[in-house]
Amino acid sequence: MKKIILLSALMLTSLSSVAQSVTLRPDNIDEVLSQLTLKEKASLVVGAGYKSMLAGTFGFKVPVPGAAGMTRAVPRLGIPSIILSDGPAGVRIEPKRKRTDQTFYCTGFPIGSLLSSTWNPQLVEKVGGAIGEEALAYGVDVMLAPGMNLQRNPLCGRNFEYYSEDPLLSGRIAAAYVRGIQAQGVGACVKHFAVNNQETNRFWNDARVDKETLKTLYLKNFEYAVREAQPWTVMASYNRLNGIHTQEDKWLLTEVLRDDWGFEGLVMTDWTGRRNTAAQIEAGCDLMEPGVKSQIRELVRKVRRGELSEAALDVCVRRVLELVVKTPTFKGHKPTNAPDLKAHADIAREAAEEGIVLLENRAETLPLAAGTRIALFGNGSYALLAGGTGSGHVHRPYVVNLDEGLTHEGFAVSRDLSTRYKDYMAENRPRKKFLSGMLGSPAIPEMPLSREVVTAAAGQADCAVVTISRQAGEGGDRHLEDDFLLSETEKQMLADVCEVFHGQGKKVVVVLNVGGVVETASWKQLPDAIVLAWQPGQEGGDALASILSGRVCPSGRLPVTFPVDYFDLPSSAHFPYDYVGRGSMTAGRDKEKDVENVGFTDYAEGLDVGYRYFQKSGTPEVSYPFGYGLSYTTFQHSGPVVAGNAVTVSVKNTGSVAGKEVVMIMTPLLRAFGKTRLLQPGESVTLVLPIVTE
């Protein structure tokens, strides 16, 4: 009897505590905040570590293996942990998991530079929508994308993730991508805020930029994205800006981002949160990623000692909670793990087809006639680089190579050459390194060709297609030799193929399968046509083949200037291009040396970036200007007529094949842009485009 009384008393107590306990809801954040202990508060602003990122390698048990990070949960108050995953060319999670045969592949979309080359925000929004759908299906709450630093200098190793040298194009494309993701109820994260324009010494580099240049260029694109799309989150960059680490910079994160631009979301660090914890909180950096436990202890200690005000911590905690209540996880969404990969592949292909840029087309070399027999040169023809390496690498189910795409399109691809390349690549496959499965592998050095091989191939083909590929990625910048410039092997290949094929009256087409700008001026006269494919995502081979066959009329335009000479770029005098040094995994460990060697980058060229510089009189010629791109048809524009905040332009297809046209209003800076729908020959359309006046 005694026992029963005791038991019911216990039950009553626990029932009453249940009745009193609070569970997080969108409308009771204040109440939940008031119930959190100091330690719980600190834990909410510190991510849950590297566990999810390394789950595939070490077999940790986490909800979404391969996701970049998670926040910490407080179960007693109904606060779940939410999942953050990279981008930007698709969702980056582990494709395989222990104890199941099911796969978790994600669509590999084209890289950022290709998306901006579409000049088509509606299409980019569709890409964002597909990525958002995939994130939702796989249980991801926030996509760490888009990457949107300005392409200040071609050697930045992560330019492939970014959009343009121009802030309006960059900002509007980013805004479209963000809208697409967030329409699915998943958050976006614009990164890396700000002035993260190089990878060399990236954890410590101090970007020294004057206020006007900052406002006009390096912050402006973020401003457009924030004002036009209100991303749920922003990621601070690794670097310092004018002496202060951006994640500790109150001016940047609070005065500019929030007070001036009206940003309402959460700011997180990039993946080394271990800086001054109190300074970050006070600056308005709400979440330290990936997070280590010692940061929680440190925050608690600092509040107790009066070195950090609890009120400042509360502001950040509140923003974490505001983010959490918006997420699919909080709303009880159960991952289906079954996104529509087929539908998304179609979107990836559509985007690739619109972002491929036709740079040269002498004597109407392209499109190739049906049934053309093609000798396909270059490793990249058989192992197309779909995207870059590092956190921007996506585990896609497959990549359609160019030889496959051309075959699908009905062309005959030389067998002998194909066998030779495939054997070479099988023999030279890079050895798997630690994390290479996770982050992607480097490209195989170009196969040297003998003159005999080229001659034999020419005997069996009507034309040659030569692919030149470049791989770049997070943690290292590109180099001048053998990267921006063609390598000796590539030059030889191009010279031999052109000489032999031209000698037989046959055409040569070059495909540039690159993440960023390469030198073109010294060799562009050699081939008959040049197609800039960028890194076109998993459907690249098919997309390229439809451009080469003419089934799709090229409509991409350059989002960045191709200079004649690297040293024509004013930024070249202030970019650590000859710094052969530590990459992401090691930079910063040798901190003193790094700081001493390349401790800062002076943005002394100011506004002289890209076309802003080259359109001034007396500046060098460029190889291909910003906005450049050829088509298989012709267009006539009428207008523009400016009325209020909009500009009206009519476009007529005056050629003989259907095509899309990009409209750019430059006065002389880019003020508005848009793209037509597919116009049949003779068809017209009127575009009304929002114009910026400042």
User: In this complex, which beta carbon is closest to ligand BGC, that of residue 125 or of residue 474?
Assistant: 474
Shortest reach from residue 285's CB to ligand BGC, in Å:
15
68 binds ligand BGC (CB under 6 A): yes
Shortest reach from residue 474's CB to ligand BGC, in Å:
6
Assess contact for 533 and 540: CB atoms under 8 A.
Answer: yes
Task: Please pick, among 270, 462, 477, 483, the residue that the annotation labels catalytic.
Answer: 270
User: In this complex, which beta carbon is closest to ligand BGC, that of residue 372 or of residue 584?
Assistant: 584
User: In this complex, which beta carbon is closest to ligand BGC, that of residue 271 or of residue 501?
Assistant: 271
Stretch 362-401: interaction string toward ligand BGC, x if CB under 6 A:
-----------------------------x----------
User: In this complex, which beta carbon is closest to ligand BGC, that of residue 172 or of residue 202?
Assistant: 202
The answer for residues whose C-beta is within 8 angstroms of residue 38's C-beta and 6 or more apart is: 300, 303, 304, 310
Stretch 110-149: interaction string toward ligand BGC, x if CB under 6 A:
----------------------------------x-----
Report d(CA 268, CA 191) in Å as an integer.
10
Kindly report the number of other CB atoms within 10 A of residue 254's CB atom. 18
User: In this complex, which beta carbon is closest to ligand BGC, that of residue 142 or of residue 530?
Assistant: 142
Report d(CA 52, CA 68) in Å as an integer.
6
To 10 degrees, the CA torsion angle through 607, 611, 616, 622? 130
Shortest reach from residue 572's CB to ligand BGC, in Å:
24
Question: In this structure, which amino acid lies at residue 150?
Answer: L
User: In this complex, which beta carbon is closest to ligand BGC, that of residue 86 or of residue 166?
Assistant: 86
Shortest reach from residue 131's CB to ligand BGC, in Å:
14
Number of residues that bind ligand BGC (CB under 6 A): 8
Report d(CA 472, CA 63) in Å as an integer.
30
Helix (H) or strand (E) holding 129: helix 121-137
User: In this complex, which beta carbon is closest to ligand BGC, that of residue 105 or of residue 162?
Assistant: 162
Assess contact for 217 and 211: CB atoms under 8 A.
Answer: no
Stretch 143-162: interaction string toward ligand BGC, x if CB under 6 A:
-x------------------
User: In this complex, which beta carbon is closest to ligand BGC, that of residue 57 or of residue 460?
Assistant: 57
The answer to whether 270 is a known catalytic residue is yes
Residue 665: helix, strand or coil by DSSP?
A: strand
Shortest reach from residue 226's CB to ligand BGC, in Å:
18
Nearest to 143 by CA among 88, 183, 63: 88
Shortest reach from residue 461's CB to ligand BGC, in Å:
43
Stretch 9-48: interaction string toward ligand BGC, x if CB under 6 A:
----------------------------------------
Report d(CA 62, CA 53) in Å as an integer.
9
Q: How far is CA 347 from the centre of its chain?
A: 16
Taken in order 50, 56, 62, 68, is the CA torsion positive or negative? positive
Stretch 472-491: interaction string toward ligand BGC, x if CB under 6 A:
--x-----------------
Residues 377-393: b if buried by 16+ CB within 10 A, e if exposed: bbbbbbbbbbbbbbbbb
Residues 667-686 that bind ligand BGC (CB under 6 A): none
Shortest reach from residue 352's CB to ligand BGC, in Å:
23
User: In this complex, which beta carbon is closest to ligand BGC, that of residue 451 or of residue 591?
Assistant: 591
Assess contact for 127 and 115: CB atoms under 8 A.
Answer: yes
Nearest to 662 by CA among 626, 625, 623, 629: 629
Q: How far is CA 381 from the centre of its chain?
A: 23
SS3 letters for 25-93? CCCCHHHHHHHCCHHHHHHHCECCCCCCCCHHHHCCCCCCCCCCEECCCEHHHCECCCEEEECCCCCEC
Shortest reach from residue 324's CB to ligand BGC, in Å:
19
Q: Of the candidates 104, 193, 224, 271, which one interacts with ligand BGC according to CB under 6 A?
A: 271
Shortest reach from residue 144's CB to ligand BGC, in Å:
4
Half-sphere exposure of 619 (CA within 13 A, CB side): 20
Residues 433-472 that bind ligand BGC (CB under 6 A): none
Residues 592-621 that bind ligand BGC (CB under 6 A): none
Residues 169-228 that bind ligand BGC (CB under 6 A): 191
Active-site residue numbers? Answer: 270
Q: Which residues would be at the binding site for ligand BGC (CB under 6 A)? A: 68, 86, 144, 191, 270-271, 391, 474
